[in-house]
Structure 1
Amino acid sequence: MDTSSFNKADELGRRQFMVNAARSYLGVSLAPMLGSGLASSAFGQKHVGGAKAEHVIFLNMGGGMSHLDTFDTKPRNKEVQGPVESIDTSGDFQISQYLPETAKIGNKMCVINSMTSKQGAHSQGQYLLHRSYSPRGTIVHPAIGAWVVRQKGRKNTTLPGFVTANTSPAVSSPGFFGAEFGGVPLGRPDEGLKNSSRAGSVSEEDFKKRLAIADALNKTFEESYQTPAVKAYDSLYEEAVKLMQSKDLEAFDINKEPASVQNAYGKDRFGQGCLLARRLVESGVRFVEVSHGGWDTHYDNFTNVENRAKTLDKAFSTLVTDLDKRGLLESTLVVIATEFGRTPRIVEEHNSGRDHHPACFSAVMAGGGIAGGQKYGESDKGGARVAKDPVSIQDFNATIGHALGIDHAQVVSSPSGRPFRLGGAEAELGNPITSIFG
């Protein structure tokens, strides 16, 4: 039999085949489960670095969050700062008036005000942020969540190791690592893991019969198409059924939380995504990403940043406080990241807008062994350039790896034999910011 056409099929095509098969034969959609649920153990990883963190919650501020109006205010430079005032925090730094609740937990976080990137366009900047590499036409690099699952393995062998909410499916791509390390992309956080239970029209007996038929088909199919991809998917039904029958599936249901807790996070999609992230790491999920977009403030920057910051402020401060109360903050690294910042120049003809600015911007880390109450790095007096301790995207991702005990410089080869690292290419290899750990 000629297997060449299947062997050349792309990852999405193989996934869709399995989704359609599951829907037709089992009466259930397994789409959300295709991916990191198959990755159960680390691949030859030597533990280095801080190694206090067991989980990561990655809060992605898509669109380019203005550092000057959030975490790197310039109170002595009104030409740059505009109408935004600075407020004191419980740490050794000031932040924007738009983040009053975050100011109260300043003693639990480290603000990095010297981020810098070489990518000033959204798609390329987001790609670099998530993968430590710039996009290339010849390869798709693994997302950082896929790196974490591959190098650390799953903590809870029933649940996926990598979950995303409110994000583009591309963010959860495992690249050349293969489907078993991909993330599970969710739509709305309040809808949980959709289509993951047996349909009411399919009885338990009928379901078992269909599973038996699927098993027989799988064996025949695997014998005909003996490729690593097919062998990986051979475990799909076993893993999916295990999850469907497990109480751990409740981790995806934020409606199990009291109304007071849901309200504390905020009833918007980002707030509910942060609540879901807390529930997932509490149940052993390694890496959860929640996106909060809308930061592309070319027009009416101050109104838009205030609105976006209000949502971020409520959810982030509640998340950190909640993790701390539950004894999970020390083992959970929470990061706020964005692809680039915004220009110091206020564009008056665009109703006081700010444009893209990759030369200097801000990020935040809390928990996971990070010493709170501190600021790392500095921008110049106008917030245009890094003045002290520059931090590249590769450095930032290497620091995440350091918190988890992952060697950011360890080489993992692609199927074609090319070397890749969590910390980026050898010429741009990142270095973890070890001084911010306690």
Structure 2
Amino acid sequence: MNASDFNRFDEPTRRRFITNAAKMYLGVQLMPFFNGAATAAPAAAKEAVKAKAKSVIYLYMSGGMSHLDTFDPKPKKKEVMGPTEAIPTKATDIFVGKNLPKTAEVMDKVCVINSMTSRQGAHEQGTYIMHTSYDMRGTVKHPSLGAWVMKLGGRHNPEIPGYVAIDSSQEYSGGGFFGAKYAAAPIGSPNEGLQDSKKPGDVSKKDFESRLSLADRLNKQFHGKYQNADVKAYEELYLEAIKLMNSKDLKAFNINDESASVRSMYGEGRFAQGCMLARRLVEHGVRFVEVQLGGWDTHFDNFAAVEGRCKEFDQAYAGLLNDLEKKGLLKDTLVVVATEFGRTPTIKTEHQNGRDHHPAAFTCLLAGGGVKGGFKYGESDAKGERVKDKPVAVQDFNATIASALGLPHDLTVMSPSGRPFKFADKGVPVAEVFA
């Protein structure tokens, strides 16, 4: 194979080549490390704003969480609320749906943004703009928020991935035009942690070191002959993988180390385990962790579906905030709850009391990381149909995340094609939410 052949590889082929080479010489699967690798940003980008938060835990409610049945209830509108009742919380004048009793007890730590609005009312497009700040385009793949954080802020811990996605779609946690090394390291089951991150058990230390030596010799020959960006990417991957396999912080991915009391704080279920893993990861220096909870697409039987989703969310979210605070991490960790849009005030009786997509007004949450707790920003109208006061566009919300981290949301970065992009497009941070 000559250099021109290598240049013609498409991205999946490049990745396959890298994976197969790693498995052949080292006996391990390295794609999670390739996806998680990142390099530090230029110093100027880091110094643009003084950071308030060090890390982000981004909890994504996939499917379109009903704002009316969760964080923007309308107690006086029975025709809007149906069987959902509002309950008081630990924060003055903030109410939540009755299916969130444990969350109600931590709302003094939470900033509720009830004036979110989006122009995207379809799942794929709404999720994409929430994760990237940009509309989907066939000609460009935009970096995800975590990729921007890695690009502009770099890692805290150089030995483990700085960006991890738990139970999340790789479609929305990628590096975009920044490249694969800025994408998230994907984790499926939180119980299993980061897969293929240790040398095979049947390979002795002596044999493993022999394989490394052989791989080093072959790499030097290949790299010397084919000085190419893709070859360079493989070399970086190779070094990252070895570093990770030898890292003492690899234990961060093992939630089995947690005590029974901590487990009971979060509750059972995959999302609860994902939140517990997210806390472990930020504790070990991971900068951006996404955890997804799906099932919020409640076109049919909205009230039963929301009750089920809230049971998954409620204890895990409250447990996460309490655990972070107990460990002194909440002030340094921005915990985000986001979704692509809300649900209609109109209840569809023909769909077993379902609610349809509603991007005009919905709710997202922020907690920790320098934001005001027990604070409500913006307001929807009496039915939760339109934003009444202080609208917050998706791009404004994402710019606020950047601001919490001290990252320059308005810094222009050029794509390989020469087009200018920013962390949050034209978004402006919502300064009032910060303490």
Classify the TM-score, shorter chain. Answer: over 0.9
**Which amino acid counterpart does residue 3 of structure 2 have in structure 1?**
T
CA distance in structure 2 between the aligned counterparts of 1:225 and 1:299, rounded to whole angstroms? 57
Alignment of 1:379-390 (within 5 A): 379-390=380-391
Is residue 292 of structure 2 the alignment partner of residue 291 of structure 1? yes
| Aligned mates of 1:137, 1:214 — CA distance in 2 | 38
Query: Which residue of 2 is the match for residue 371 of structure 1?
Result: 372
Matched ranges for 1:259-298 at <5 A: 259-298=260-299
Amino acid at match of 1:436: V
Change (3 A) 1:315 1:141: same
**Corresponding residue number in structure 1 for 2:427:** 430
Q: 1:52 corresponds to which residue?
A: 52
SS in 1 for 2:345: coil
Q: Supply the AA of the counterpart residue of 1:192.
A: G
- Identify the range of structure 1 (230-239 vs 170-179) with the bigger mean alpha-carbon deviation: 230-239
CA shift, 1:39, in A, is 2.0
**Aligned position for 1:410:** 411
Q: CA deviation at 1:390?
A: 0.5
Which letter maps to 2:118?
S
- 1:161 matches 2:193: no
Match in the other structure for 1:115: 116
1:33-52 maps to which residues of 2 (within 5 A)?
33-42=33-42, 44-49=44-49, 51-52=51-52
What does 1:61-210 align with in structure 2 at a 5 Å threshold?
A: 61-92=61-92, 93-210=94-211
Of 29-38 and 181-190, the range deviating more from structure 2: 29-38
Partner of 1:320: 321
What is the CA–CA distance in structure 2 between the aligned matches of 1:307 and 1:88, rounded to whole Å?
21
Mapped pair 1:305 → 2:302: no
1:211 corresponds to which residue? 212
* Contact 2:38/2:154 (<8 A) preserved: no
SS of equivalent residue, structure 2 residue 336:
strand
Paired letter, 1:437: F
Alignment: residue pair count: 434
Distance 1:247 1:105 in 2: 34
Amino acid at match of 2:223: E
- Unpaired stretches in structure 2, ≥5 consecutive residues: none
Q: Hey, what's the Cα distance between the residues in 2 that align with 1:167 and 1:43?
A: 31
Query: Which 10-residue stretch deviates more, 34-43 or 264-273?
Result: 34-43
1:60 counterpart SS class:
strand
Matched residues in 2 for 1:386 and 1:50: separation?
A: 32
Residue equivalent to 2:362 = 361
Aligned to 1:27: 27
- Helix, strand or coil at the partner of 2:331: coil
Does 1:12 pair with 2:12? yes
Percent of residue pairs bearing the same amino acid type:
56
Deviation at 1:46, TM superposition (A): 4.4
Quick check: 2:191–2:273 contact (8 Å CA) kept in 1?
Answer: yes
Distance (whole Å) between structure 2 residues aligned to residue 76 and residue 328 of structure 1: 38
2-side partners of 1:370 and 1:50: how far apart? 14
1:64 counterpart SS class: coil
Quick one: which amino acid aligns to residue 244 of structure 2? L
Residues 229-249 of structure 1, C-alpha deviation per residue, up to 9 Å, x if partnerless?
Answer: 321321222221121112100
Superposed CA offset, 1:402-435 (max 9, x none): 00011111001011111000011xxxx0010011
Segments of structure 1 that go 5 or more residues without pairing to the other structure are none
Aligned equivalents of 1:33 and 1:79: distance in 2?
Answer: 51
**Which whole-Å CA distance do the structure 2 matches of 1:377 and 1:100 have between them?**
23
Deviation at 1:5, TM superposition (A): 4.2
Q: Is this contact kept in 2: 1:3–1:225, CA < 8 A?
A: yes
Cα gap change, 1:349 to 1:5, in 2 (>3 Å): farther
> Which amino acid counterpart does residue 35 of structure 1 have in structure 2?
N
